Amino acid sequence: MSEQLSLLDSLSQTVPQADSAHFVVRESKRARRLFLHVVPPLSVELVVPKGTRVRTVEAFLNANRKWIERANAEIDRTYNGERSLMPQAIRIPTRSQQLGVCYRHKPEAHRHYKNSGDLLYVNCRQANMADSAKILQKWLISEARRTLAPWLYREAEKVGDVPKRVQVRLQRTRWGSCSGTGTISLNASLLLLDPALVRYVMIHELCHMRHMNHSAVYWRHVARFEPSYRDLDRQLGKSWADMPYWALAK
C-alpha cells in the first residue's frame, strides 16, 4: 500500500489527472506493460509493472491524457442522478422478480436486512448510499450464493466437468473466473443480469476446466454448449454499464 501511495504522490506532482478522485494507480508484479482501464464504478486504473520508472509512467499518462479525460467524463455522466441514489426497487431477472426496498434509519441501529415477500427491509444508521450499499451488498451475496452455486452444478453435469469448489462474491472487473485447482468464482452481481448471460458465464468458466486458455479449441468446446456465445459475450461486455452503483461501490 505504501508503494502505491508513493507512486501516486510522485505522479500527482507533475501529472494533474493523477490527483483525480477517479484515478487509481496499481503496481503489479504480473503486468508486462502499462495499461489503463475503467474499474467500475468510479475509477480509472493505471496498472504499472513493478519497477517501472516514474518518468516512464508520466510519459505514458501524458500520451493518454485525452483518453483519461473522456473516461472521467463518462464516469461522471453515468453515475450522476438516479444511479447514485439508494434504489427504491431491485429487479432480479434470474428470478423474474422485483423487490421493493424499504429503508429504516436509526443512528444506533444494527445494520441488517430482512426479506418479507416482495419487500426488502434495510436497517442502516445513516440515510445515504455509503451506509445502505454495504447492507445491500451483503444481501446480494447471500441471495446469489443460494441461486448461483446450485445452478452452476446443474450446468456442470451437462458440460461434464464439475468444479472442486464454487465461490460467489462481489467482483468489480470480472463476471467469473476458473483457477487451475478447479475453483470457479462467480460474481454475485450476476443475479442482476438476464438468465441467458448468467448461463453463458457458467458455461464459459466450466469449459476452462478443460482448456485453461482462449484457444480455438476452447471456443469450439464452448460452442458445443452455447452456440450463441459470440453474441452473448458482446452483451456481457456491455453489461457493466447496467450495474447499479450500490452493487459496485467499495
Per-residue model confidence as pLDDT tens digits over 49-61: 988 888 898 899 8
pLDDT at 13: 55
CB-hemisphere CA count at 13 Å for 243? 29
CATH of domain 2-79: 3.30.2010
Phi, psi of 23 (to 5 degrees): -105, 130
Q: Where are the domains of the chain?
A: 2-79, 84-248
11-25, 27-41, 90-104: which has the minimum mean pLDDT? 11-25
Per-residue model confidence as pLDDT tens digits over 196-224: 999 999 999 999 999 999 999 999 999 99
CATH 3.50.50.60 fits 84-248, yes or no: no
Please tell me the distance from the alpha carbon of residue 135 to that of residue 125, in angstroms, as a whole number: 11
Residues whose CB is less than 8 angstroms from the CB of residue 184 and which lie 6 or more positions away in sequence, other chains included: 152, 163, 165, 166, 167, 176, 177, 178, 205, 206, 209
pLDDT at 4: 46
Residues listed for the chain: 250
Q: How big is the CA angle at 228 (ends 222 and 234), to the nearest 5 degrees?
A: 95
pLDDT at 84: 56
